[in-house]
Chain A
């Protein structure tokens, strides 16, 4: 999975957990919660959906790595690769 594909996987999750938001123009290098309404429970949704949909675990200490789309791609792409994706 490329970094762009990883970003798309995260965007697919965000689209479901924040269905009222326009996510078509999210910037990759700006914190997600600065660009849209995303509270701590929503953030836990992202973690949960990564677990459910992709079997990826994100330990609490690593949550800061999910702050932006770019950091998500950096952090998650190797995890997808480790799963053979």
Chain B
């Protein structure tokens, strides 16, 4: 008898993005071409560009919790509560020890460490002024732990560090834990507070990978000839995932079903992507989902608008979808919101999920002059495209140290 894993479905979405604090607001802005990049003063660096989230942090937290906790924790708490409400689950009655929290993040602790060093610089670097909150703020599980505190969840709560592939990883790991029976409900996805650390800005600038543009809204421009780097953003998207039987039993609204996935590694460079491994990741995800390339109707690219990285991802996508996929459309969400780092995969998936219902593919904006090396068939540019069917979305997220993640979400069919 062959093993048949439980079907896993998405039943709730909570998010904050630089251009929206609910799924409907986010989606509407993606369809209307509304980006969310602004100028922001970065310590030691001056004015930079950033995707800043403008959710109400006091919606689910007290002022003291904001003072003690981290921005990553706050974003996580906001998204987790929003997802839970959206799911319609009677959370008060739900056994809290059967809930898992799996939060993807690119990094954690840079912001808090930089803040403390800056603070003690005002006291001649005397470490007796170092905050006693530094350790709980910087432990890698902080964002998930703050959610557990906020919601009284006593099941497993931890982060998944996977660079900018982490958003997908949160969902993938949650699906695995649900299938193993470790939990009955998962809060999962990805978050980022990276705009609050100068180190990440300075690092990308030293790498010549930080975007500049006179108009912030046009700065993030994957696939355009004039692209010149990444716009760093904060954000978060957390989902509720359940086994299908549980979701059906309570009459849940179902956004989509986890179809398949793959996580692999380049093993080739600290920073430079590897198109061969990326293509392999996509192909393995298709096998995992029992689908062929032509069955995918939306490919959401990871492309961050670096001159080389976009070309390399296009090479990987061309290798898989370049021929025989007339119904496959390709888009990019970073052109609106910049690179939300650990939240990127999860947020970008959210932006495309409504396509199952409205059959519209949101475009990649800011493409005034398409780079011929990025001219993929099916690329949706600057204007939304109505399509005949959307049955499967493939979401790519790749990260430094060569970690690749591909997640496929299918239309739910009973």
Contacts and interface: CB of A to CB of B under 8 A. Distances in A.
B4 interface: no
Contact of A51 (B62, B68, B129): B129
A30 B318 CA distance: 72
A26 interface: no
Contacts of A45: 132
A19 B132 contact: no
Contact of A20 (B63, B123, B131, B132): B63
Nearest to B132: A44
B63 A19 contact: yes
Given A17-B67, A41-B68, A48 B62 contact: no
A1 interface: no
Interface string A49-66: 001100000000000000
A48 B123 CA distance: 13
B63 A51 contact: no
Interface in B218-233: none
Q: Is chain A's binding surface mostly helix, strand, loop or mixed?
A: helix
A9 to B, nearest CB: 18
A19 B129 contact: no
Contacts, number: 22
Contacts of A18: 64
Nearest to B123: A52
A48 B120 CA distance: 12
Interface in A28-85: 41, 44-45, 48, 51-52
Nearest to A20: B62
Contacts of B62: 19-20
A48 B67 contact: no
Contact of B133 (A19, A20, A41, A52): A41
B132 A48 contact: yes
Interface in B120-146: 123, 128-129, 131-133
Contacts of B63: 19-20
Interface residues of A, number: 10
Given A41-B133, A52-B123, A19 B128 contact: no
Contacts of B64: 17-20
A18 B64 CA distance: 6
Contact of B129 (A17, A41, A44, A48): A48
Instruction: Name the residue among A17, A20, A45, A51 with the largest chain B CB count within 10 angstroms.
Output: A20
A27 B182 CA distance: 49
A68 B64 CA distance: 21
Interface string A7-24: 000000000011110000
Interface in B340-363: none
A37 to B, nearest CB: 8
B132 A41 contact: yes
A51 B67 contact: no
B56 to A, nearest CB: 16
A56 to B, nearest CB: 12
Given A18-B64, A41-B68, A52 B132 contact: no
Nearest to A57: B128
Contacts of B123: 52
Contacts of B68: 41
Nearest to B128: A51
Contacts of A20: 62-64
A45 B68 CA distance: 10
A48 B116 CA distance: 13
A45 B132 CA distance: 8
Contacts of B131: 48
B334 to A, nearest CB: 36
A66 B5 CA distance: 59
Given A48-B131, A52-B123, 7 more contacts: A19-B62, A19-B64, A20-B64, A41-B68, A41-B132, A45-B132, A51-B128
Leading 10 A-B pairs by shortest Cβ distance: A19-B63, A20-B62, A44-B132, A20-B63, A20-B64, A19-B64, A18-B64, A52-B129, A41-B132, A19-B67
22 contacts: A17-B64, A17-B67, A18-B64, A19-B62, A19-B63, A19-B64, A19-B67, A20-B62, A20-B63, A20-B64, A41-B68, A41-B132, A41-B133, A44-B132, A45-B132, A48-B129, A48-B131, A48-B132, A51-B128, A51-B129, A52-B123, A52-B129
Interface of B: 62-64, 67-68, 123, 128-129, 131-133
